[in-house]
Amino acid sequence: MAEETHLREYDEDTRSEVRETYRKNHTQQTLTLAREKAASFGKLDRARLTIWEALLELDRVIDESDPDTELSQLQHALQTAESLRVAGAPPWLQLVGLIHDAGKMLCIFGEEQWAVVGDTYPLGCAFSDTIVFHELFAENPDKNQAAYSTETGIYNPGCGLDTVTMAWGHDEYLYQVTRGRLPAEAAFVIRFHSFYPLHQENAYRWMLNAEDEALLPWLARFQKHDLYSKTNQPPDYDALATHYRKLAEDFLPDALAW
């Protein structure tokens, strides 16, 4: 496990690449953009790949929003899954550890990182000041839309996260790719694992319905392993590949539409 006190520090010392990715994200993620991306990528007409084939592709991707790792996304997948396995997590949660960032296939399909990675947050209502680099929303067009600027915006309290449009990125994309194939708990963690303002800062709690509240503890449990498994010691691919390929195929045996 990495030293917990030095993770997710976003300040003047953060790598300029990280801040630049968030600057592009926070100035361009609008409700309209997120709906357009979801409609376009939701067609799932880019590729047909098993989840394992996708993970192998992700050995070419390094997350530019992440101050805590410069390993590839395949390496991050194996580290997260291993951390969960060692902690005694159930197989479905180990699987989530393995695949949670596979939506970063968006990068392979040519998307820029600002529209793929980083923390997520709801659109169509006020931006919480718990969001990293929230001051960079000053240039976001939605910031000046009156209908989107109140605390609840276009939503009603208790509406449920399923009705909320989140900033577009790898969470929602992988949720779409795996829709209907995994347990509800797994789908929820995949879909909202980057929603740090909720699961770390307790913001936007008014949106949740009873089902979301029941699932929320899984996000907290998962997030520790996503974050604290980040060491710069690469995982031993040759030792782990057979085991995790089988785990992936146990849950998702067929090629998926991406």
User: What's at 187, amino acid-wise?
Assistant: A
**Is 148 or 215 the residue whose CB approaches Fe ion more closely?**
215
Residues in the chain: 258
Rounded Cα distance, 213 and 237, in Å: 36
Among 86-94, 204-212, 219-227, 239-247, which window interacts with Fe ion (CB under 5 A)?
Answer: 219-227
- For residues 193 and 219, is the Cβ–Cβ distance under 8 A? yes
**Is 106 or 208 the residue whose CB approaches Fe ion more closely?**
106
Residue 257 bridge partners (DSSP)? 48
**Is 57 or 101 the residue whose CB approaches Fe ion more closely?**
101
Site string for Fe ion, 70-109 (x = CB under 5 A): -------------------------------x--------
Fill in the DSSP letter of residue 167: P
Rounded to the nearest whole angstrom, what is the least distance from the CB of residue 90 to Fe ion in the complex?
A: 19
Contacts with Fe ion in 118-147 (CB under 5 A)? none
- Rule CB under 5 A: is residue 64 a binding residue for Fe ion? no
- Count of residues of this chain found to bind Fe ion when the rule CB under 5 A is applied: 2
Rounded to the nearest whole angstrom, what is the least distance from the CB of residue 48 to Fe ion in the complex?
A: 23
Among 82-90, 128-136, 221-229, 248-256, which window interacts with Fe ion (CB under 5 A)?
Answer: 221-229
Q: Residue from 57, 68, 111, 226 that binds Fe ion (CB under 5 A)? A: 226
- For residues 65 and 136, is the Cβ–Cβ distance under 8 A? no
Phi, psi of 106 (to 5 degrees): -50, -35
- For residues 204 and 197, is the Cβ–Cβ distance under 8 A? yes
Rounded Cα distance, 248 and 139, in Å: 41
Q: Binding residues for Fe ion, per CB under 5 A?
A: 101, 226
